Amino acid sequence: MNGEKTTKRVWRWLLPWNDEREERWLAEQARSGWRLTKVECFGGYTFERAAPGEVVYRLDVAPSKLRDRGEYFDLFRDAGWTLLGHRGLWQFFARDASDGRVQEIYTDNRSKIGKYRRILAFLGAMTAVMGSQMAVNPGVRRERPVAAIYAVMLALFLYFIVRVLLRIRGLKAAAGGQG
């Protein structure tokens, strides 16, 4: 054991429609003996060596009303979730899989779709800001490199929006009319 690493840091992309893939990947890390201990806002994960085990990870997008955030985090804590950190819009929660309690944070499709709608609202606002900058700010249009960066960003955000919309449509289809 001497000399073996006891912590590791990993950097990963997290795209807004890949949250469930990320949850599964984190659970796999725990299964192979790496517990997530820290989440940094720019994508760095810190893991610590631990006995291999089943951990449930869930990523949520908290409500935007700051006033209500305390209640939100209290409810998750009461329900057995540990907050590991924030990254962008995401909150990372974890719980021991063996505690026999509810392992989902969303137990109906409608509220799950709500999570993606909050992402959509954020992406929409960003796109609107960038789009309006391109439209009304002459500096953006005059400077070629700036305009190019804006165009790339705008295209990226539009692509993100389409992917999130497709995710929502998938969830609605899965609900089969009851959502």
Partner 1 sequence: MVAKNLESAARRFLPLTESTFLILAALAEPRHGYGIMQDVEVVSGGRVRLGAGTLYGALTHLVDQKLIKRHGETGEGSDRRKVYALTPLGEAVVGLEARRLADLAGIAADVTKRLGGGR
Q: Given the complex with partner 1, which of 22 and 60 has the nearer CB atom?
A: 60
What's the min distance (Å) between Cβ of 79 and partner 1? 4
SS3 43: coil
* Residue numbers at the binding site for partner 1 (CB under 8 A): 60, 63, 68, 71-72, 74-76, 78-79, 81, 102, 104-108, 111-112, 114-115
Q: How far apart are CA 163 and CA 142, in angstroms?
A: 31
148 C-beta neighbours (distance < 10 Å), count: 10
Q: Given the complex with partner 1, which of 64 and 137 has the nearer CB atom?
A: 64
What's the min distance (Å) between Cβ of 30 and partner 1? 20
Closest CA to 112 of 155, 170, 54, 39: 170
Q: Cβ distance 36 to 57 under 8 Å? A: yes
Q: Given the complex with partner 1, which of 6 and 107 has the nearer CB atom?
A: 107
What's the min distance (Å) between Cβ of 106 and partner 1? 5
